[in-house]
Amino acid sequence: MIPTSASSDHDELRDALRALCAQFPGEYHRTHARNETYPVEFIDALTRDGWLAAMIPEEFGGAGLGLTEASIVMEEINRGGGNAGHCHGQMYNMGTLLRHGSDAQKAKYLPGIASGDLRLQSMAVTEPTTGTDTTKIKTVARKQGDRYVVNGQKVWISRIEHSDLMILLARTTPLDQVKRKSLGMSIFIVDLKQAIGNGMEIRPIRNMVGHETYEVFFDNLEIPEENLIGEEGYGFRYILDGLNAERTLIAAECIGDGYWFVEKAAAYVGERTVFGRPIGQNQGVQFPIAKSYVNIEAANLMRFEACRRFDAHEDCGAQANMAKMLAADASWEAANACLQSHGGFGFAEEYDIERKFRETRLYQVAPISTNLILSYVAEHVLDMPRSF
């Protein structure tokens, strides 16, 4: 295995995850990707061993670990050839409930989420007509008696068919009646089994990465008022609070992908002989692989700095965003180097490279695009003028 800057930390944790992931080889993930099916057995095994409940406090049945350890779980899934995109929602969506839910909501949902009996894998924010400009969302929730009635549309909402619960962001006060555009939005817990067919419809979106994701339509969906999380009107702030964990975990997934690509490429170029010598003897072949390794290592340091700050309850917005961007760029660079060094074989399904190449490309766009990270750094870290 290639050395990594954090290889001596958390050895036990990594060994346990590697043993689990080894039971699900490339062929397993490849078959699910090809058939666009959900890797149920793999996710069940991760759930059974408690990995997806890493960040849930022990009092609610979780492992009570930090973001550092949780990020290692995500990294190892991707480093082992899998795709944590199938389950990362279960790891971080509960954070919104944990931080902003009432005691009653936490007691009702968190133990079930920790055991895996309840899956909170979906979070519905993005809309087709407003995109990244989230404060303009058009989905509305109107209070009527003891319930909210929801109308509107979402897009790219992932893992709905493998979730029991979904967090929904909707506007509760019209944009032209709020002091700040970020106010007047609220978040709700949606019981998906009750909702689908009763005011909520879903339509799968076939996509490049076989990611289970949907268009969602709300037509007078009724949500009981006790499903409002926190205070009405502050939902956008609550969602933002959860993003640092999400970005750091996804950075770790990209780092796992990056090491997977580098390892695969370095091994292959040492074996593949063309013109009478291993192709890896040519510096033109070595350097792109070495360069992507250097960049993954650098991104990894920023990821662990984001984790350290998060776990110490320090502000980590800048580090989480930068880690996500650096890691996504580095994994994409490694993906290209790996594909290129495999020549034609990189395109063959059985090598898994083309699958992971597509999977890692997603993270330039979702859950936040690179441009929006640069905009965050420009405005919030470097104090440049706001552009929107």
User: Which residues belong to the active site?
Assistant: 246
Query: 141, 247, 362, 363: which one contacts ligand FAD (CB under 6 A)?
Result: 362
Stretch that binds ligand FAD, among 19-27, 291-299, 330-338, 370-378 (CB under 6 A): 370-378
Q: Is 372 in the site for ligand FAD (CB under 6 A)?
A: yes
> What percent of the residues of the chain are helix, what percent strand, and what percent coil, each to the nearest 5?
55, 15, 30
**Minimal distance, residue 125 CB to ligand FAD, in Å:** 3
Q: Is 368 in the site for ligand FAD (CB under 6 A)?
A: yes
Q: Look up tokens 């975990």; give the residue.
A: 249
Per the CB < 8 A criterion, the answer to whether 265 and 337 are in contact is: yes
End-to-end CA distance of the chain: 45
Q: Is 388 in the site for ligand FAD (CB under 6 A)?
A: yes
Q: Report residue 317: phi and psi, to 5°.
A: -55, -50
Q: Cα 50 from chain centroid?
A: 18
Query: 20, 54, 114, 123: which one contacts ligand FAD (CB under 6 A)?
Result: 123
Beta carbon nearer to ligand FAD, 32 or 309: 32
Beta carbon nearer to ligand FAD, 89 or 288: 89
Q: Report residue 38: phi and psi, to 5°.
A: -85, 135
Angle between helices 67-79 and 235-271 (to 10 degrees): 40
Number of residues that bind ligand FAD (CB under 6 A): 24
Quickly list H helices, 39-171. 40-48, 67-79, 88-92, 94-100, 103-115
Binding to ligand FAD in span 201-230, by CB under 6 A: 207, 209, 211, 213
- The CA-atom distances, in angstroms, between 311 and each of 110, 315, 377 are 20, 10, 21
- The rounded distance, in Å, linking the Cα atoms of 149 and 168 is 12
Q: Is 90 in the site for ligand FAD (CB under 6 A)?
A: no
Query: 124, 167, 223, 254: which one contacts ligand FAD (CB under 6 A)?
Result: 124
Binding to ligand FAD in span 152-181, by CB under 6 A: 156-158
Look at residue 27 and give its three-state secondary structure: helix
Answer positive or negative: Cα dihedral of 31, 33, 37, 38: positive
DSSP string spanning 286-322? HHHHHHHHHHHHHHHHHHHHHHHHHHTT---HHHHHH
Binding to ligand FAD in span 310-329, by CB under 6 A: none
Q: Is 367 in the site for ligand FAD (CB under 6 A)?
A: yes
Query: 9, 41, 131, 345: which one contacts ligand FAD (CB under 6 A)?
Result: 131
Beta-ladder partners of 228: 188
Beta-ladder partners of 81: none
Beta carbon nearer to ligand FAD, 4 or 78: 78
Residue 163, phi-psi category: left (phi > 0), alpha (psi -120 to 50), beta (remainder): beta
Amino acid at 366: A
**Minimal distance, residue 272 CB to ligand FAD, in Å:** 33
Query: 365, 380, 381, 384: which one contacts ligand FAD (CB under 6 A)?
Result: 365
Amino acid at 311: D
Of 87, 111, 116, 115, the closest CA to residue 101 belongs to 111
Beta carbon nearer to ligand FAD, 275 or 388: 388
**Minimal distance, residue 47 CB to ligand FAD, in Å:** 19
Beta carbon nearer to ligand FAD, 207 or 282: 207
Beta carbon nearer to ligand FAD, 81 or 367: 367
Which residue of this chain has its Cβ atom nearest to ligand FAD in the complex?
Answer: 131
Stretch that binds ligand FAD, among 122-130, 257-265, 299-307, 344-352 (CB under 6 A): 122-130
Query: 45, 178, 366, 377: which one contacts ligand FAD (CB under 6 A)?
Result: 366
Q: Is 132 in the site for ligand FAD (CB under 6 A)?
A: yes
**Minimal distance, residue 139 CB to ligand FAD, in Å:** 11
Of 358, 333, 361, the closest CA to residue 265 belongs to 333
Q: Look up tokens 């001596």; give the residue.
A: 8
Stretch that binds ligand FAD, among 123-131, 246-254, 284-292, 345-353 (CB under 6 A): 123-131
Beta carbon nearer to ligand FAD, 5 or 371: 371
Tell me how many helices (H) and strands (E) the chain has: 13, 10
Q: Can you give the binding site for ligand FAD, defined by CB under 6 A?
A: 123-126, 131-132, 156-158, 207, 209, 211, 213, 362, 365-369, 371-372, 375, 387-388
